[in-house]
Amino acid sequence: MFIPTVKLIVDGREASPEDFGESIKARVYKDLKESITEKLRGIKCPEHGEAPLVTAEGSSLDKLKWKISGCCEKLRDEAQKALSGD
């Protein structure tokens, strides 16, 4: 099964839930990452066989901008559709 990559970049550095200790932000990030991963689980490009990459980047957790990357437009569209619930 294909599992997407979900990255969080805060203030220019890749972060993980562990970076936030036991805070509420750590729980929110972990839940968000799990939710996105589950929605995109199994989605792969039929032509190239790659899974999508979702990146959230910003100066803090409350100022994130989301980006879906992938090998081609078809994969990015499928990932966006899955995340939108369409």
Asked if pLDDT for residue 3 goes beyond 70, the answer is yes
Average pLDDT over every residue of 67-77: 95
pLDDT at 39: 92
Closest C-alpha among 74, 12, 49 to residue 82:
74
In contact, 74 and 48? CB cutoff 8 Å: no
Average pLDDT over every residue of 1-17: 78
pLDDT at 86: 64
The string of pLDDT tens digits covering residues 22-44 is 677 777 778 888 899 999 998 99
Amino acid present at 52: P
CA neighbours within 13 Å on the CB side: how many for 64?
A: 19
